[in-house]
């Protein structure tokens, strides 16, 4: 297919077509050659993305790990948290009587 129809499409229409291609992705066997070149291009991109996921090539594989150093720090364990101080209401007195805003 020629890339000429792709150059004639404005940005908004191209983004709409690419979004449609992402949402309505189908396998290569189910695609028609008569579809818009942008749709086919985006589905080919999706094919490559899916292929890289299956082969284990992720974006994390493109980063270089940091060199090993001796600057490691191991902090001591934190002190256990003390029990919270909770106000215990007398079960014989209704709770609304415990709060006296005027007093």
Burial class (CB in 10 A: 0-12, 13-18, 19+), 37: middle
What is the model's pLDDT at position 7? 66
Tell me the CB-side half-sphere exposure of residue 85, using CA atoms within 13 A: 0
- pLDDT, position 2: 44
Structure tokens given for 91: 């079960």
Would you say the pTM of this structure is higher than 0.75?
Answer: no
pLDDT tens, 38-65?
999 999 999 998 887 776 655 666 677 7
Q: Do the beta carbons of residue 38 and residue 9 sit within 8 Å?
A: yes
């Amino acid at each position: 297919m020629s890339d000429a129809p792709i150059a004639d499409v404005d940005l908004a229409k191209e983004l709409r077509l690419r979004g449609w291609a992402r949402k309505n992705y189908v396998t290569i066997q189910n695609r028609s050659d008569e579809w818009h070149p942008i749709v086919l291009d985006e589905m080919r991109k999706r094919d490559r993305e899916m292929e890289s996921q299956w082969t284990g090539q992720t974006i994390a594989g493109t980063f270089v790990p940091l060199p090993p150093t001796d600057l490691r720090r191991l902090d001591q364990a934190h002190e256990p948290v003390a029990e919270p101080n909770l106000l215990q209401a007398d079960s014989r007195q209704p709770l609304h009587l415990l709060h006296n805003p005027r007093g």
